[in-house]
Amino acid sequence: MTDTGRDLVKNAADGEQVQHAARKEKDRARRDVDDVRAVLSSRQGRRFVWRVLKAAGLYRSITVEGSMIYALSGRRDFGLEVLDWVTGASRELYVQMESEGRADQARDRQENVAARTPPAEK
C-alpha cells in the first residue's frame, strides 16, 4: 500500500542507509494500517469502503465481449488492492463491513419492492 516516491537507499552497501530505510518503510506500513483501521472504525467509513468495492466490480463477473473487459479488469484489480488493504488492516472489520453491507442491500431491495407494490384494495 505504500508509495515511497523516491528511493530511500542511495547506496545499498551502506548498512546504515539500509537500516534507516527499513525503519521508514515499517513506520509507513504501520501508519497505512492505522489509516485503514480509522476509516473502518466508523459505520460511515465501512459503508464508503463497501461502496468502493462494489463499484470496483469485486462481487460480480467481468466477463463481457470486446475491449470493455480491459476496463472492467482494471477496476477489479484496484478493488482487489483495496480489499487487500482492508483485510491486511483488520479481517474482523472487513467481516463486519461485509455483513452490514449485505444487510443494507437486502433492506434496500425490500424497500424498492415495497415502493413498487400497489396498495391493497379495501
- pLDDT tens, residue by residue, 9-50: 777 777 788 788 888 889 999 999 999 999 999 999 999 999
Q: pLDDT digit string (tens) for 55-110?
A: 999 888 888 888 888 889 999 999 999 999 999 999 999 999 999 999 999 998 88
Question: Could you tell me the three cell numbers for 35?
Answer: 489509516
In this structure, is residue 3 part of a structural domain?
no
User: How far is it, in rounded angstroms, from Cα 54 to Cα 58?
Assistant: 6
In this structure, is residue 53 part of a structural domain?
yes
Residue 88 has a pLDDT of 94
> Whole domain around residue 46: which residue ranges?
15-116
Q: How much of the chain is in helix, strand and coil states, percent to nearest 5?
A: 70, 0, 30
Residue 122 has a pLDDT of 64
In this structure, is residue 122 part of a structural domain?
no
In this structure, is residue 22 part of a structural domain?
yes
Residue 6 has a pLDDT of 59
Residue 5 has a pLDDT of 44
Higher pLDDT, 7 or 6: 7
In this structure, is residue 55 part of a structural domain?
yes
Cβ–Cβ < 8 Å for 82, 35? no
In this structure, is residue 104 part of a structural domain?
yes
Total domains in the chain come to 1
Residue 31 has a pLDDT of 95
In this structure, is residue 36 part of a structural domain?
yes
Question: Of how many residues is the chain composed?
Answer: 122
In this structure, is residue 8 part of a structural domain?
no
